[in-house]
Structure 1
Amino acid sequence: MQGTKTHKTVVMVLFNDVLLLDVTGPMDVFSITNRMLPPEKHYRLLTVSEHPGWVRGSSGLKVQADLPLHGCPSDIDLLLVPGGPGAYGTRHPQLNEWLPDAARRARRFGAICTGIFLLADAGLIDGYRCTTHWNYVERLKRGYPAARVETEQIYVIDRNLITSGGITAGIDMALAVVAEDHGKDIALEVAKVLLVAMKRQGGQTPYGPLLAAVPRDGSAIARVQAYVVDHIDQAYSISRMAEIAAMSPRNFARAFQREVNMTPMQYVQNARIDHARKLLEACDVPLKVLASRCGFGSARHMRKVFNERIGLSPNQYRQQFGGG
């Protein structure tokens, strides 16, 4: 979004229990970018707070905002709201009242990580494609059904709204802004200074489990879920799982989809992937052996499933997340 303006004002909102890495990561991207630009094209970096004085981060560290909310300039190029426990665990009536007008005045606005809950509370994400940290996407979907929540991208840009996944994804998002404003070459140089990749492989999917904790409440569907996870190396079909549930295949498939929000065979595949990831993280077992232990049948099939679902091959996953 190149414009005729020179200075671009970036405003970061502060509040108690903010995750300071959400603040400092993107702001340092813009600060380092300034070193590579002529002075007249520098980003102007400002912080604003709903309360005067010091703001306490979730780590206990304290920072002081440049301006109160009512002192924020009108020529905002990018308004950002960071995340942290204070974004989703505390009500902010002043921010709720201030954010809609500030977002309307800004050329772009967005959130890092769980900061999206503050935008959502202010009614600013309805109808937009957006994302947040993988651990909070379901909460966001349930709480704000008018938003179009995407679960796999590191960051999402939809018109004038920019949102990102967890914590360091704010750096990825800021690099994307720099690339849009000043070209990919400068963004790449900034990424090199920060020792980060311009584009990470696999999105958010490799970082979180595909399945929630397995229920152990004794119900028919829960009994099947637990059996699959506890005997992941075995072969499964709808008929076999229906037998474990003591239901007809047709009724079982319907009940499973309704209660688990995925088909039985999708559940089996996700359970195999989650188990394989734990093994890839913990040991250097050959892929052929690992594929057998997880019920994939062959290393070739496991590679195909990983590439389709995770966006990484098993070897890439092991290199990125393995402890060895």
Structure 2
Amino acid sequence: MHHVVFVVYPGFELLDMSGPASVFTSANRSLGLSERPPFYAIDLVSVAGGSVTSSSGVVVETQGLEDHTQKAVGTLLVVGAERQNLLPILADSAWAAWLPRLAGQAQRFGSVCSGAIILARLGLLDGHRVATHWDACTPLAAAFASVTVDSDSLYVVDGRLWTSAGVTTGIDMALAMVAQDLSADIAGEVAKRLVLYARRPGYQSQFSPLLQAQVKADSPFAELIAWILANLAAPLEVTVLADRAGLSERTFHRRFVAATGETPARFVETARLDAARMLLCRGLSLKSVAAEVGLSPAARFSEAFERRFGIAPRLFREMHTAF
């Protein structure tokens, strides 16, 4: 059995733990459907053991951190929390006594969300590239000069160290672990069972173009943006979008830029290329991807993709299909 140990403390973010844990237990279920034995065992650990209350009020039962130092640990993950709940933990000397030892004996270790701050405080991130919640990127980089903070990626793998960005990205990282431990097929089955929109690779930004625009945009444009994402293969010129928004082209262009910070053409291309990356990770041909995202012919798609990401889509597909 591969033991996954989640390190929690009072006020921890429940989804940082329960999301990845659900991935691992769902992987066991997929194995069981093909009459294979379970691979993962889940343990919750705190400094003293016993009942620990999350920030949402849900109470979990844990084992003591010290009790695990003599056990085989496959994966060790420190979960995150809001700043006010992290501060008492950072001042607790018990973490310094036991957590580095546990991380040292684990096959891999890391954090979910702002749990990276705890690892950094203990010197476990020195010399590494890491991810964390977008709100913690600047403080982490400022406080720990020896740590390289990747503010763009959903999760980062640096040797034995795995770190993820905010909250739900722990699910993406756990799926990548399942793909590495078992297979991409099992990871895909888990993603489907958990009704995820897509399996997101680590390089993807914490913010999708849709989310960024919806946060900035007035509600009429949020509806338009959702329509754009559902109709990427359709003609999406300014004339079409302005007509759908019920505005003149000039007024639409001005208001869209003011609301989202991007021109309509730039936003549409970004949405298409973002979708294209996901399709390439599924191994689809360049011709098929170009058609699905409205960038046919394939030569036009390749030119736009390489201009934006600095890599040919064919090479990108080869690098990421396995994940």
TM-score by length of 1: 0.66
**Which position in structure 1 is the counterpart of 2:49?**
52
| CA separation of 1:311 and 1:143: change in aligned 2, threshold 3 A | farther
**Which position in structure 1 is the counterpart of 2:11?**
17
Tell me the amino acid that sits aligned with residue 199 of structure 1: R
After TM superposition, list the pairs within 5 Å mapping 1:116-127 onto structure 2. 116-127=116-127
- Range with greater deviation from structure 2 (68-77 or 182-191): 68-77
**Which position in structure 1 is the counterpart of 2:108?**
108
SS at match of 2:114: helix
**Which position in structure 2 is the counterpart of 1:96?**
96
| CA separation of 1:68 and 1:279: change in aligned 2, threshold 3 A | same
**Which position in structure 2 is the counterpart of 1:299?**
264
User: Deviation per CA, 1:139-186, whole angstroms, max 9, x where unpaired?
Assistant: 111111211110111111111111111111111110000000001000
Q: Identify the match of residue 217 of structure 2 among 262, 278, 295.
A: 278
Aligned length: 242
| Structure 1 residue 132, shift from structure 2 partner | 0.7
| CA separation of 1:139 and 1:298: change in aligned 2, threshold 3 A | closer
| CA separation of 1:140 and 1:290: change in aligned 2, threshold 3 A | farther
Q: Identify the match of residue 76 of structure 2 among 51, 55, 79.
A: 79
Distance 2:101 2:210 in 1: 35
Tell me the amino acid that sits aligned with residue 208 of structure 2: P
Q: CA RMSD in A?
A: 3.1
Q: Do 1:100 and 1:122's aligned partners in 2 also have CA atoms closer than 8 Å? A: yes
Distance 2:183 2:213 in 1: 38
| CA separation of 1:307 and 1:16: change in aligned 2, threshold 3 A | same
Q: Identify the match of residue 70 of structure 1 among 66, 69, 86.
A: 66
- Structure 1 unmatched runs, 5+: 1-6, 210-272, 317-324
**Which position in structure 1 is the counterpart of 2:235?**
none
Distance 1:157 1:206 in 2: 21
Q: Percent identity?
A: 33
Distance 1:276 1:87 in 2: 27
| Structure 1 residue 8, shift from structure 2 partner | 0.9
Distance 1:96 1:136 in 2: 21
| Structure 1 residue 88, shift from structure 2 partner | 2.9
TM-score by length of 2: 0.66
| Structure 1 residue 301, shift from structure 2 partner | 4.3
Q: Do 2:73 and 2:105's aligned partners in 1 also have CA atoms closer than 8 Å? A: yes
Q: Which has the larger radius of gyration?
A: 1
SS at match of 1:205: coil
SS at match of 2:208: helix
- Structure 2 unmatched runs, 5+: 226-240, 243-248, 277-292, 294-323
Distance 1:87 1:207 in 2: 31
